[in-house]
Amino acid sequence: MPELPEVEVVRAGLEPAVSGALITGVEVFDTRSLKRHSALEGRFEALLEGRRMLAAVRRGKFLWFPLTTRQTTGPQALVAHLGMSGQVLLRTPGTAEEGLLRIRLQIEHPEHGEFWVNFVDQRIFGSMAVDRLVPTGDGAPGGYSGFDGGRMLGDTLALVPGQVAHIARDPLDPAFDEKAFLAALARKRTGIKRALLDQTLISGIGNIYADESLWAARVHYEHPADRLPRARARELLGEVRVVLEKALAEGGTSFDAQYVNVNGASGYFSHSLNAYGQQGKPCPRCGTPIVREAFMNRSSHLCPRCQRPVRARAARGAATAA
């Protein structure tokens, strides 16, 4: 469900309530929501109770909350991934229980008081975990944590949860290495949309924003990544950034009550979609009906006129033989 803009809306919403807050209680209602948690770290509840969260950090679609250090362990964080249907809701203690509530943290903030942090997830593709923090490969901050978060973390800023270390930086991250991304893209022998969805190449993009970015850049989703001219690839990356930033400014994309911010409210970007879910409606650019095609057990939405497929890759040597 949630892609970078939706996850950032959640991060920003949690930040004031969780930064500096003490975890006073942890309730796990469904252990399947701990599938990313390794028992080697210790028991999830025991690792959290009595510790404080220092900040709310995000890279791509991953969220984490660095914890105060315990003498017995190195630096650790509570990690959360929303999967397809996860929500993190801030509630006043005593609020009636959400139907699909999987995990609840009881927290106490020194200034803002007590909250429940409710992790709600229909499909259970999301999860929480406590994971150790490891240094980032490039020495830059592990993810985005806002101004205050950056100050709170101080010299432990350049850490990332072990299970997030293989995820690439996202295109809104100041430390995103554009040259390295373009070079890696030029080596990918796969379709451009698969490459955009590959979180080890560039993170934060999912099915909605991949389709929107490709529409904006007028690129067909099966265009071979390694045959996209560098200038076109740079344009596409520019469109990715524009789409993500615009969606963020509008509070993310919601089709129903499934994706919501920490207060349960929906975003407005669904009104700004040009391609995703717009099959049958005229392309806002040329009027040709948008089509939907099967792709990776899901679907791709595109304008068949603005986004022409390229000729299939010629068999090796065929072009020169003639």
Partner DNA sequence: CCTCACACCTGGGTGC
Partner DNA sequence: TGCACCCAGGTGTGAG
Which residues would be at the binding site for DNA (CB under 7 A)? 1-3, 6, 32, 60-62, 81, 83-84, 99-100, 122-125, 163, 166, 187-191, 194, 197, 199, 203, 206-208, 252-256, 258-259, 267, 296-299
* 155 versus 256: smaller Cβ distance to DNA: 256
Respond yes or no: is residue 61 known to be catalytic. Answer: yes
Choice among 36, 52, 61, 102 that is catalytic: 61
Inter-residue contact 295 to 206 (CB < 8 Å): no
* 9 versus 21: smaller Cβ distance to DNA: 9
φ/ψ of residue 58, rounded to 5: -140, 135
Tokens matching residue 112: 């803002």
CA distance linking residue 65 with residue 59, whole number of Å: 12
In the 8-state DSSP scheme, what is residue 296?
T
Respond yes or no: is residue 2 known to be catalytic. Answer: yes
* 59 versus 104: smaller Cβ distance to DNA: 59
Inter-residue contact 2 to 123 (CB < 8 Å): no
Residue with tokens 């796990």: 28
Tokens matching residue 258: 């499934």
Q: How far is the CB of 74 from DNA (least distance, A)?
A: 21
* 115 versus 259: smaller Cβ distance to DNA: 259
Task: Tell the burial category of 204 from Cβ atoms under 10 Å away from its Cβ (0-12, 13-18, 19+).
Answer: buried
Choice among 43, 70, 298, 308 that is catalytic: 298
Choice among 2, 5, 161, 171 that is catalytic: 2
Active site residues: 2-3, 61, 298
